[in-house]
Structure 1
């Protein structure tokens, strides 16, 4: 499974990369605004800064919602760096744009996906990645993990090359369950990834080892 970090914070991206677990980055206008990045030129410069930190796969989201504008904006984003994946919403013109970009060899991430039917359309159009939103579905009392499992099963049936990128991952158990049911990628905040480090028995075991070491060292001296 690939780990993407869902942020526009350069320090968090660098920390995840230094851990050796980072495979890519996803961002969106809300995450850019959270970091105080505003204005078209500043946003694109920030995307370039992110690309300079990672090996590949930086999802940069279009703002446009009509076909021609999505194509224009997507092309401009793709020019920033070869690592850019153009992030496109699950709408009619978005699907048409995904088909176009696929024919041009430009990778895409179809975002705001909430049903298996939408997932089928995105794969048929040639999306590189599909982003079903687990947490947002959970918020309306629908099992987001069940949707991931359903999409993985459907894609397996027909050999679709689109990778299932589980998004809106809220906690570490979401991440583990996504791995269990076969999602290709998860994207989440850094705290979800670092949450995998934690277990009370690890903490207590380490404390005991250190205590025993200190006692033994004291006896030897």
Structure 2
């Protein structure tokens, strides 16, 4: 299971990569519109500088030819990038062309098993489900991830299943479904490290140590 920061805010991305388990970053057109500024080329360069792992950038167009041009241009401009594209007729056509050229593509907003299979058939490296939003009103949101993963296995697709989650409960559901990667906002990633019982137990154990040994640390005695 990989964990990726879902944000186009450079300050948030930089903070997220202080967490050792964060392995990549996903953005979307709305987020970049909020945070990209006037110099988009410079923005991409700075994002690449501060981010570890793969960067996901979404195309801005709806027609096949323009999506292909955007995907090619972004791949030349940024190392280790995956192009996010919608599962539309035009998007699928663009995926097929880009994938045939060795360009990695992520199908975004994949919220049915059929959409996932169609994207996989076109060569998508990954599909992204907005699982966190689906889980708000669909009881079987976890089934979507498991069924998509099972379909890829059954048909021999190497495509990975990614999902967006908002909290630890949704992360647990994604893990149980066998998803390959979880996308979260910064607050969500940080919340994975917090549990009241864990904090209380560690504080109790350390208090007992300090009661007996004070401020002595292992590196001072071994």
Provide the TM-score with structure 1 as the length reference: 0.89
Q: Is 2:148 the counterpart of 1:151?
A: yes
Match of 1:15 in 2: 15
Contact preservation (8 Å) 1:58, 1:83: yes
Moved more, 100-109 or 69-78: 69-78
Aligned residue pairs, count: 215
Task: Select the residue among 177, 181, 196 that pairs with 1:181.
Answer: 177
The structural deviation recorded for 1:57 is 1.1
Greater alpha carbon shift after TM alignment, 174-183 vs 43-52: 43-52
CA distance in 2, matches of 1:139, 1:33: 26
Counterpart contact for 2:92–2:119, Cα < 8 Å = yes
Q: Deviations over 1:178-212 (max 9, x none)?
A: 12221011111122222121122221112222332
Matching residue of 2:168: 172
Q: Which runs of 5+ in 1 are unaligned?
A: none
Corresponding residue for 2:220? none
Q: Where does structure 2 lack aligned partners over 5 or more consecutive residues?
A: 217-222
Distance of 1:43 and 1:112 partners within structure 2: 24
- Decide which of 203, 209, 212 is 1:213's aligned counterpart: 209
1:14-93 mapped onto 2 (5 Å cutoff): 14-35=14-35, 37-39=36-38, 42-93=39-90
8 A Cα contact 1:28 1:61, kept in partner: yes
Answer whether contact 1:51 1:84 (CA < 8 A) is retained: no
Question: Are the aligned partners of 1:58 and 1:84 in contact in 2 as well (CA < 8 Å)?
Answer: yes
Aligned-CA RMSD value: 1.9
1:217 CA displacement: 4.7
Cα deviation, 1:84-139, whole Å, max 9, x if unaligned, reads 11111111100000000011111011101111111110000000110111122234
CA–CA distance in 2 between the matches of 1:64 and 1:195?
35
**Partner Cα separation in structure 1 for residue 139 and residue 43 of structure 2:** 35
In structure 2, what is the equivalent of residue 195 of structure 1?
Answer: 191
Contact map agreement 2:17 2:52 (CA 8 A) in 1: no
3-state SS in 2 of match to 1:19: coil
The Cα offsets for residues 53-79 of structure 1, whole Å up to 9 and x where unpaired, read as: 233310111110011111112222112
